[in-house]
Structure formats: structure tokens, C-alpha cells
Amino acid sequence: MKLFKTLTPIIFCMISISCTPQKQKNLAESSIVLIPEPAQMSVGSDFFEFNAETCFVTTDQRQKKLFTLLTKKFVNSAGFAPPIVDTAPKSNFISLKEDAQLGEEAYRLKVTANYIEIKAGKNSGFLYALETLRQLLPPEIESLQPQPETIWTIPTLEMNDYPRYTWRGLMLDVSRHFFEKEYILQTLDRMALFKFNTLHLHLVDDQGWRIEIKKYPKLTEIGGFRVDQEDKHWDARSKNRPGDKATYGGFYTQEEIKEIVAFAHDRGITVVPEIEMPAHVMSALAAYPEFSCQGNAIAVPSGGVWPITDIYCPGKEETFGFLENILVEVMELFPSKYIHVGGDEATRTNWEKCPHCQRRMKEEGLETTAQLQSYFIKRMEQFLSSKNRILLGWDEIIEGGLAPGATVMSWRGYQGGWEASKEGHDVIMTPGDVYLNQYQGNPDYEPIAFGGYVPLNKVYSFDPVVDSMSMEQKRHILGSQANLWSEFITNKDESEYMLFPRLAALSEALWTPKEKKSWNDFAEKIVSLFRRFDVMNINYSRSAYAVTAQSRLNDNGTVTVKLQNEFPDSKIRYALNDDPFNASSQVYSEPITLNSTTTVKAAVYEDGKMVGNKLEKIFHFHKAIGKPVAYEPMYSKQYQGTGANNMVNVLRGSKNFHDGQWQAWLDDKAEITVDLQELTEISSVGVGSMENQGSGIYFPSHIAVDVSTDSKNYTWAGEISNSFENHGFVRLKEFTVTFEPRKVRWIRVKLTNLGSPPQGGGAWMFFDEIVVE
């Protein structure tokens, strides 16, 4: 592996000796891996080599600080410290020159064999140019240990680069699970590598208050900790009581916040704090219950809460004083012009019966609690505006009337951002397409995550702008950010796995001109990117390599299986049934046709090693395959599976209920009738089901099977009951009713819903296959 990593710079030196100029240029271009892809670049045929005599030239103290970010990496990995000098020598130097004509984040980079010249209008442009140099250097530049075999060369080139969007961010949820300061700093350095400029810190939620507020010490003393139930699924944790021993948690002191903000600033990143209101504040109300409507003592919850009814009381004037005092301390720590106030998912039932809230509504002439929430947000916007800050909130702040100076973060799809931009408000588009807490691969093989599916190529193809927007609306779209909610992310390794490489894909989606983007080109960069991640000791995901199987039931009863992963031209190897599966297995070249029960195993191999998870999928042929099916009532339009034959098509669903293989009912009962088309001897009927209690999906409480020879007179064949168990993890189970063998033609499966689950609301039933044996 070490030889492989150091091969590229060695090739660089050989090129200048033994290759023709055209061959040199082609090899140089193929060796360049830059993410995000620059706006304009032309590659030369020579190379610049960094060594102990290479000088960084500047007289500006701010620029010296920028140079230090790169020179420190040479100290660690190369064993030498390039000097920073005031006057340029004749050659072997890097210089910075200001060019007021360039945009705030734009830069021009010229690399010759003798020197490197960077031009920019602002410090951020110089910084991004240096990060580009960092990526041009061999991956070993990221090493914390000396790499004596590495030659520190980069190709000659000229580059004119600038971002497409001004807001290129990442949101880290440090409330649901707390992450130490050191990991935040590490993440900031990695964000800078990909030219991100905004870190949104979700510092407050029901499950933890994570920032020291000196005026209200109980916010962290009480609100910063909860009962440790980390051994249970997030959605299966029991309710805590005030006074229960709380040992899980943590918070950032104000000194630590200052360190984070300064570290980010040195890397061109603004840290935007989020202080939730009026909902997602049980941690605050556990410490200061007097600012809720009822004033009841509550505990910080250890897991999921829904609906969120313990929220601030806008009828009490003291509530606004409390929040303003908090924000004053927050603004002293964060120079960001934006202050995020949340504003989402408030269940306002307590406001409807609270005498304080009702009095406020009467005094202000408000007719609905939605208008009362708008009043709440508008008051906070006025306060922040008086301090020369801009209120930022999730798209619920639009409801009841949008505060005049507010900026909207659109998360429930694109509609909120569309509406806000239409009204002339700035918008950050951050819909589910960039929610990195969702699955990036087959949930059957991935760590637990939220139920959506956001693979690498989906992040890469994301665009914050909607085609239906006018040009004026598009000007109000500042950009986007990835969101990493941490209900299921408990530590650093899990966080890295969810962030990388998807964060790299988003960087190119937000920086690179649209016409320059190419998924195929990005895919070719992944191998080199992963080598860099290896040196950086990042626990990145290889899920994009994982093989998936797309299947189709043919009219003749066979099944065609197509194997693929996210990358074009991947060399997939596969084996069937008991055939050995290894790096020498057959290379997949065309769809596979199956006519009997078959186990398919597949994966990508590189250098004899498996890359990504192995697919192992059983295609179970049974007596009902392809037979006519009738439904009563029909399945939900939201979850139709593959249509009428979904329940008898051999194809099974995964733990992702959005994978297109599941049919679902929200009804109390459902009946599915299968016509075997001739008398057939059978002895069992199985029904494949899913349970995902956090998403309101439950196993059926009862399954009964009736059979018939004439479609009119049915006789009971068997039944089974299922008792409810509180269980947060996604589970797949086949419920099988067995009976004495008999010849039948029609089978009717009667499914009974759980009814009202303990968490409240309706219960969904999800099914993927009826298996008849």
C-alpha cells in the first residue's frame, strides 16, 4: 500500500525525463484529482517540487497565518518547514498577490516549474487556493508521520476558480449525541479541504443543551445531561422522571466555543449557532420549567419525543427576556451575521388552553396559534435585527406570516424555499436529498440510520435551484448544506462514516459550475480520494461500491437479475448458490436469468480485496409466482410496490420501506387473494412483513388464511397471532401459517392491523411477498 501511494510523484519525475510533451500532459491531467472540480483549468507538461528550500513569500500577517496551515502539514509529513519570507528569491517560491477584480472567494492559481503564484481579492480566495495546492500534493501530505519516500511534486497548471453558491455548509447535531471539541476541530479542517464555508452547530434540542450560558447555569448543569439509555434503540427508550440520575451528556464551555470559532475563521468557515425555539427545548424547560405554559417539572428525555408539546410559552413576557438574555451571550461568542432559532415541529396544543397565550392572542389580535408562533418569531427577529444580526429558521417560520428580515432554511422539500424566495427572502435549500443521517446503501448491510435513501450519486446530482423559479427567485438561493442529525450517530467513527465521501460530493455540487459537473469524472476520482482518506484516518463509507440487484419477473415465470453499483464500468464479480465466491469469481457482464430458487452473491474486488459490502440475496421461487392477485382494500397510493403482482414476484423488500418493493395499508384490515389458476397442493402460506416503529410501521396483530376451490366457498386453513413488542430497530419477518396438505386454487390472506400503537397515531402494515409452498 505504501508503494502504491508514493508511486504518483515518482511517475511525475520520470515523465520529465522520458516522455514526449503530449504524453506528459495527458499523464499530468490523469493524475490530477481535485474536489470540487475547478471552474477553469489548463494543465502544463512540467512539475513544481516542494522541498526544504521552497519559500512562502508575504509581508502580510494574515497571509502568513494562511501559509502556516500548509507549512504545518509539511512539518508533519515531509520533515521540513518551508520558510515564510518577505522577499521572493529567483525561483522555488509561492507568492500571494491581491487582485481587487476577483470575487470574494475567487482565486487564480499559476503553477510553473520555478514558482507558484496565487491571486485573490480576499483572504478566503487565498485560502481556497492553498487548499487546492493541498489536494494537488500527494495524499501523504495529510500524514502525521514522516513520509521520507514521498516526492512532493505537483503538475504545472493555470487555474481560474470560483464558487457557484455562497453558502456551502454542514450542520452537525451535537445535542442528540454530544461530540467533543476535538472532533469539531477535526471536521472543520476536513471541511476546509473541500472549500466549505459554513458550519451550522445544532446546539440545542430536547435531548441536550450544549452551550454554556453564564446567566443561566442550570441550562448545562441540568439540561446538558440525561439518563443513560444508550443501550436501547432511540425510539424505544423509556420516559425519564425529574430527579433521575443523569450521566450522559456534555457541553461546550464558552472558552471552547471561542476556540472553535477562531479555528474555523482561520479556515474561512463561519460557525452559525442554532438555539432552538419555541419547540425542541425540553432540555431548557427541564432546567427552567417556569418558561413553559404549565410550569410542570420535566426531565431531559433520553430518546425520541413525538409530538413535541413541552415548548416555550409566548404568553409570558418573561419567556422573551429569558431568550434575549441567552442570545446576547450567544452573539458575544459567534460573530456570524446569522443566528439560527429553529422554529420547527412545534405542537401548539398547550398554547390553545394556556391563559397566558390566549391573553396574548387577544391583545395582539391573533386568531390562530400559527399566528402566535409567527408573532414569537417576529419578536425574536426584531431583537436580532436590533443587534445587526439576521434571523435564520427552518421553513415552519413561514407559517402564519414570515418575519420581514428572516432567512429561510428549507428542509421539508423545496416548496418552503420556493415560497420564501417568491416573497423576496434569502433561502438555504437543505431538503432530504442532503440529509446525510439517511441510508447511503442497502439498509440490510448498513449501520442503523433514518429510513430514507441518499446514496453518493444522489448527493452529487443535488441542485439547490428549482427550474420553476424565476431569475429573481434564483438570486435569493444562497446555497445549501448537508445535515447530519445524530439520533442514531453516537460517536466519531459513525459520524465520519455518514459524512464521507458524501460531503465531498456535495462540495462539487455547490462549488463547480453546472456545465463542468460530471458524475463519471467524479467517480474516477473516488479511488484517489479514498487513498487520501486512508492517510487522514477517516472512517469513510464504501457503500457506493456495494452491489445492488434490480430484478424483473418475466411473463414465462423466470426472473431477470441486473447487478450494479453507483459507479460506471465497475468490475462486479458474482457466484450462484454453492459456487465459491472470491476475487476470481465470474465477472458480471449481462443480466442473469433465474428459473428456480437461487442465492446470488456479488461484490466489487480491487487488487484482490473486496470493496464495499457483499450482496447475498435469495430469490425464492414458490407456487404463487406470477399468479393473479386481488386486494381489498387496495394498497396505499404512497406505497404501491411494483404494482398488482408485487406480492407474488419473488422480489423481496429491504429495511428501507422506500425501496419500491413494499405495499402498505393504513386500514384496520386487509385481504389479499391469490388465484393459483389451477388446483394445486399446498401446505403453507407465508407473508413477508416489516416493522419500523419509529416510522409508524408495525407487524400485523393477526394473520388468517382461508382457501377455496371455487372462489365462492372458503374454508379456514390456519391462523397465527402476533403480540406487540416495544422495539425500535427495523425488523423483517415472514409470518407463516402451516396446515395439512390440500389441493386448492384460491388463497385469501386476511391481515389485521395493530390498531392504535402505544406511541399514538395510526399503524401502517407493510408487506412484500406472499410465499406459497
- Catalytic (active-site) positions: 205, 280, 345
Residues 6+ apart with CB under 8 A from 329: 213, 214, 215, 254
Q: Are strands 765-772 and 669-691 parallel, antiparallel or unpaired?
A: antiparallel
Residues 6+ apart with CB under 8 A from 714: 706, 707, 708, 746, 748
Q: How far is CA 491 from CA 129, 318, 349, 487, in A?
A: 32, 37, 35, 11
Distance of CA 523 to the CA centre of its chain: 19
Query: What is d(CA 605, CA 596) in angstroms, rounded to the nearest whole number?
Result: 27
Query: What is d(CA 87, CA 29) in angstroms, rounded to the nearest whole number?
Result: 32
Cα-flanking dihedrals φ and ψ of residue 451, to 5°?
A: -75, -10
Q: At what angle do helices 254-266 and 61-77 cross, to 10 degrees?
A: 90
Query: What is d(CA 625, CA 105) in angstroms, rounded to the nearest whole number?
Result: 60
Longest dimension (CA), the chain: 99
Looking at 486-558, which runs of residues are DSSP E strands?
Answer: 548-553
Neighbours of 502 (CB within 10 A): 27
Would you say 300 and 222 are in contact if contact means Cβ atoms under 8 Å apart?
A: yes
Q: Which cell is 285 given?
A: 424547560
Closest by alpha carbon to 601, among 622, 579, 620, 621?
A: 579
At 610 the three-state DSSP class reads: strand
Would you say 769 and 688 are in contact if contact means Cβ atoms under 8 Å apart?
A: yes
Query: What is d(CA 431, CA 18) in angstroms, rounded to the nearest whole number?
Result: 52
Query: What is d(CA 25, CA 238) in angstroms, rounded to the nearest whole number?
Result: 63
DSSP 396: G
Q: DSSP string of 235-257?
A: GGPPPP-TTS---EE--B-HHHH
**Where on the phi/psi map is residue 527: left (φ > 0), alpha (ψ -120 to 50), or beta?**
alpha
Residues 6+ apart with CB under 8 A from 354: 293, 294, 313, 315
Closest by alpha carbon to 766, among 672, 700, 713?
A: 700
Would you say 70 and 134 are in contact if contact means Cβ atoms under 8 Å apart?
A: yes
Query: What is d(CA 206, CA 204) in angstroms, rounded to the nearest whole number?
Result: 7
Query: What is d(CA 224, CA 661) in angstroms, rounded to the nearest whole number?
Result: 42
